[in-house]
Amino acid sequence: MTISMAFLGGSLGPGEILLVSLVILLLFGARRLPSIARSLGRTLEEFRRATRNLSHDIMTNNDKHDSSVPPSKTPLPSDPSSEEKERKG
């Protein structure tokens, strides 16, 4: 006998959704459900915004740095006055 468990890789069917909804209703009550749903929605929106900002920052940092030349191999600009001092000194 095989028991399909929705939380271990299967999909949620209408029966499982109804059961979870009933348990949530019993635990929190009908009066608190709208405020809980509102705060959950705000939390998800903040998470999406943070994810979007992070991916934007990563993309802009990748655009700023040339990946073909490592930062340690870039030539430093030379100071003409220091070259003259070395020649004379």
Domain segments of the chain as ranges: 21-62
Look over the chain and give the mean of its residue pLDDT values, rounded to a whole number. Answer: 77
Q: Would you state the pLDDT for residue 75? A: 57
The C-alpha atoms of residue 18 and residue 21 are separated, in whole angstroms, by: 5
Q: Do residues 81 and 87 touch, judged by C-beta distance below 8 A?
A: no
Q: Do residues 16 and 6 touch, judged by C-beta distance below 8 A?
A: yes
Lowest mean pLDDT among 9-13, 29-33, 47-51, 84-88: 84-88
Q: Full-prediction pTM beyond 0.85?
A: no
Q: Would you state the pLDDT for residue 71? A: 57
Q: Confidence class of residue 12 from pLDDT cuts 50, 70 and 90?
A: confident
